[in-house]
Amino acid sequence: MSKQSVLIFSTTYFPLVGGAEVAMKEVTDRLPDWQCDLICARIKKGLPSQERIGNVTVHRVGFGHSIDKYLLPVLGSVRAVFLPGSRDAIAWSLMASYGGFTALVYTWLRPKTKLLLTLQEGDPLEHYAKRTGVLSFVHRQIFRRADAVHAISHFLAAWAKEMGFRGTPEVIPNGVDVEKFSKKISAEQRAVFRKQYSYADDDVVIVTASRLSLKNAVDDMIRSLTFLPENYKVLVAGVGEDEAMLHQLVAENHLESRVTFLGKKSHDELPAILQSSDIFCRPSLSEGLGNSFLEAMAAGIPIIGTPVGGIPDFLVDGETGVFCQPRNPESLAKAALRIQTVPGLRQALIERGAMCVRNGYQWHHLSQRIDLLLKKMISL
């Protein structure tokens, strides 16, 4: 039996990845019935124009420069037209970004093509309006042209409707490698990790694994320490444009002994980091979904988040986590104290959080739903 073809349009792909690209690979690796080709911008010199990554044949266009993403709608759509079998393929846009513009141009060239739009956007939605500027009308055409929309949260599904999608978006979240994050480290490994950073047995380590950018509000985590006892510490895994500002904030508040910056850590290192900590927190200002929360829940530590974006899809206050208010360090501190002091709450959050992830966020189940969505599009 011949495989069905799907032509994926993405701004970038491996090795230049964020959460959206990682999610696409997790899904496509589990789509054996589909022949997957992916068009993206080269962006970086030395990357081959074509290679096989997992279940996807990647086709890169451009000159190995940041300008490639601006050229992608022209170069990518032309490349797609000349791919063998592309005429019968479903077009699949990973986000309504440069790849989305490319998918739109391709469907103008091939008007009978069915278009699936996947929304993974995590920045504040007003940022996308500013970035598109005079092209905002064309940006909306991506949503209006889509035959189906797959959103990773109800928040993004509502955005699709606001932007002009005429149908009912399918909400299918990103998943978590549950087995990887739930595999327990030994008590000895945990003790070695905590000793490495001079954490005492009674220290409460609040960890975040985040890009150090405005939207993730790591500065609010640092400021929250001024409302907490001395044995509460903050552990930061990540890098980003706010790093210098955050170090300065620590110095200004004389918190050097209570804040540790780990720098960039690989995904494989995160389970041990999470399990060696006591609470996960990201006081987000915006969030498409929030995979780092789900990974922490799978790792078996309670979470603190803000009621923004897609976070309320999985965080129910007092059941699977605790809410704090955005831009409110004192609220964050109260949430941490609540977890540590309310009898029975900490263990209940851990148990319910793990159950939530196991029941609703495993990749093999989610990929099956996307497979059905793609097959349903064939008959549209």
pLDDT in tens, 176-220: 999 999 999 999 999 999 999 999 999 999 999 999 999 999 999
Residue 139 is predicted with a pLDDT of 94
- pLDDT for 17 beyond 90: no
- The rounded distance, in Å, linking the Cα atoms of 287 and 298 is 19
What are the strands of the beta sheet with 279-282, ordered from one edge? 259-263, 232-237, 204-209, 279-282, 303-305, 322-323
Q: What percent of the chain has pLDDT over 90?
A: 91
Structure tokens at 178: 């549950």
Residue 230 is predicted with a pLDDT of 97
Residue 191 is predicted with a pLDDT of 96
- pLDDT for 9 beyond 90: yes
Cα radius of gyration rounded to whole Å, the chain: 22
Tens of pLDDT along 303-358?
Answer: 999 999 999 999 999 999 999 999 999 999 999 999 999 999 999 999 999 999 99
Whole-number Cα distances in Å, 345 to 197, 228, 242, 304: 27, 19, 33, 13
Residues 6+ apart with CB under 8 A from 7: 37, 38, 39, 80, 83, 86, 89, 90, 91, 92, 106
Structure tokens at 360: 């609703």
Q: State mean pLDDT over 239-249.
A: 97
Tens of pLDDT along 56-113?
Answer: 999 999 999 999 999 999 999 999 999 998 988 999 999 999 999 999 999 999 999 9
Q: Residue 318: name the closest of 293, 298, 335 by CA.
A: 335
- pLDDT for 365 beyond 80: yes
Q: How many residues does the chain have?
A: 380
- pLDDT for 1 beyond 70: no
Out of 26-30, 32-36, 126-130, pick the least confident.
126-130
* Whole-number average pLDDT of the chain: 95
End-to-end CA separation in angstroms for the chain: 21
CB 75 within 8 A of CB 40: no
Q: Which helix (H) or strand (E) holds 144?
A: helix 136-145
**Predicted TM-score of the model (pTM):** 0.93
The structural domains of the chain, ordered by start, are 4-174+362-378 (3.40.50.2000), 178-360 (3.40.50.2000)
Concatenate the DSSP letters of all residues of 295-363 into one string. HHHHHT--EEE-S-TTGGGT--BTTTBEE--TT-HHHHHHHHHHHHHSTTHHHHHHHHHHHHHHHH-BH
Concatenate the DSSP letters of all residues of 228-297 into one string. S-TTEEEEEE---TTHHHHHHHHHHTT-TTTEEEEE---GGGHHHHHHTSSEEEE--S--SS-HHHHHHH
- pLDDT for 128 beyond 80: no
Residue 130 is predicted with a pLDDT of 77
Q: What percent of the chain has pLDDT over 70?
A: 100
- ∠ CA 38-44-47 to the nearest 5 degrees? 60
Look at the alpha carbons of 209, 213, 217, 218 in this order and tell me if their dihedral is positive or negative: positive
- The rounded distance, in Å, linking the Cα atoms of 121 and 139 is 14
Q: Residue 228: name the closest of 341, 362, 103 by CA.
A: 341
Tens of pLDDT along 252-272?
Answer: 999 999 999 999 999 899 999
Residue 85 is predicted with a pLDDT of 86
Q: Residue 310: name the closest of 294, 286, 326, 328 by CA.
A: 286
Structure tokens at 113: 């093509």
